[in-house]
């Protein structure tokens, strides 16, 4: 996983609440069996005027000039700014892959849906929850100064604006550690393999009906 320590980049204002994962990456693109290539179709229904299908050359499609990510300089943004409950709906990790493939390293919003929030950390995308009035202040700052860059400092848990404003954010200490180090969860967990086996052995006594396969006693 790509590590995250500090990042400075342009902020794209997506002034909507309840941005769902169907909007971030529509269903037809979920047919891919890969983790990459979702960037050109991120926010497909809002970004293009013509319908999109997998396998198309998306650079040839008609872009919606009113959509923020089609506008200079937001097409080069690496930080996405949105309203409450970002990432609600489906569990599709493709939504996170679409954002990272577009080039985003962080999303700032007043709140996030749980599954999207979890998925972000597995892919080096930092979801930052700020207070509603802070998010509002950043929306206003970006409106006054499009192309404004924010600096995100994960070790110190702070977002810095060019005017000197600083926004502190909370993050779970274990998740922060994994993100800064770019750690692979699975390898970490497998260090506890003996504990997992011991748990299974104990549970086979307590709830044997959940372990038919391990007991070699199917249907018992």
Partner 1 sequence: MAGKTLYEKLFDAHVVHEQDDGTALLYIDRHLVHEVTSPQAFEGLRLAGRKPWRTGAMLAVPDHNVPTTNRAGGIVDPVSREQVSTLDRNCQEFGVQEFPMADMRQGIVHIIGPEEGFTLPGATVVCGDSHTSTHGAIGALAFGIGTSEVEHVMATQTLLQKRTKTMQVRVEGELGPGVTAKDVVLAIIGKIGTAGGTGYAIEFAGSAIESLSIEGRMSVCNMSIEAGARAGMVAVDEKTVDYFRDKPFAPTGEMFERAAEYWRTLKSDPDAVFDKVVTLDGTKIEPQVSWGTSPEMVVPVNARVPDPAAESDPVKAEGMRNALKYMGLEANTPITDIQIDKVFIGSCTNARIEDLRAAAAAIKGRHVADNVTLAMVVPGSGLVREQAEKEGLDKIFLEAGFEWREPGCSMCLAMNADRLEPGERCASTSNRNFEGRQGQGGRTHLVSPAMAAAAAVAGHFVDVRQA
CB of 8 to partner 1, least distance (A): 26
Contact segment (CB under 8 A) with partner 1 among 56-64, 74-82, 100-108, 204-212 equals: 204-212
Q: Between residue 159 and residue 178, which ones bind partner 1 under the rule CB under 8 A? A: 172-174
Q: State the residue for tokens 């993100």.
A: 179
Buried b (16+ CB within 10 A) or exposed e, 91-100: ebbbbbbbbb
Taking CB under 8 A as the criterion, the residue among 10, 11, 14, 26 binding partner 1 is 26
60 binds partner 1 (CB under 8 A): no
Distance separating alpha carbons of residues 101 and 183, to the nearest angstrom: 20
CB distance 162 to 132 below 8 Å: no
199 binds partner 1 (CB under 8 A): yes
66 binds partner 1 (CB under 8 A): no
63 binds partner 1 (CB under 8 A): no
Closest CA to 10 of 102, 157, 137, 142: 142
Strands (E) located in the chain: 6-14, 79-82, 106-109, 126-129, 149-153, 158-160, 166-168
Among left, alpha and beta (phi > 0; psi -120 to 50; other), residue 57 is beta
Taking CB under 8 A as the criterion, the residue among 118, 146, 151, 153 binding partner 1 is 118
Nearer of residues 32 and 157 to partner 1, judged by Cβ: 32
* Site residues (vs partner 1, CB under 8 A): 15-18, 20, 22-23, 26-28, 30-35, 45, 51, 54-55, 83-85, 88-94, 96, 111-115, 118-119, 122-123, 172-174, 185-186, 189-190, 192-193, 195-196, 199-200, 203, 206-210, 212-214, 219-220
């Amino acid at each position: 996983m790509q590590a995250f320590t500090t990042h400075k980049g342009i902020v794209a204002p997506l002034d909507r609440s309840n941005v769902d994962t169907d909007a971030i990456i529509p269903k037809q693109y979920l047919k891919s069996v890969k983790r990459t290539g979702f960037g050109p179709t991120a926010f497909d229904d809002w970004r293009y005027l013509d319908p999109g299908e997998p396998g198309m050359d998306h650079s040839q499609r008609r872009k919606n000039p009113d959509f923020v990510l089609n506008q200079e300089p937001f097409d080069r943004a690496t930080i996405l700014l949105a309203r409450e409950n970002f990432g609600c709906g489906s569990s599709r990790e493709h939504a996170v892959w679409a954002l990272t493939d577009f080039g985003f390293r962080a999303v700032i919003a007043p709140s996030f849906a749980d599954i999207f929030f979890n998925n972000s950390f597995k892919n080096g995308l930092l979801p930052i929850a700020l207070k509603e009035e802070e998010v509002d202040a950043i929306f206003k700052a970006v409106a006054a100064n499009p192309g404004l860059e924010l600096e995100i400092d994960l070790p110190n848990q702070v977002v810095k604006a060019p005017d000197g404003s600083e926004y502190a954010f909370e993050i779970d200490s274990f998740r922060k550690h994994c993100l800064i180090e770019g750690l692979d969860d699975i390898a970490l967990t497998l260090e506890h393999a003996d504990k997992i086996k011991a748990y299974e052995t104990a549970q086979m006594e307590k709830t044997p009906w959940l372990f038919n396969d391990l007991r070699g006693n199917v249907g018992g």
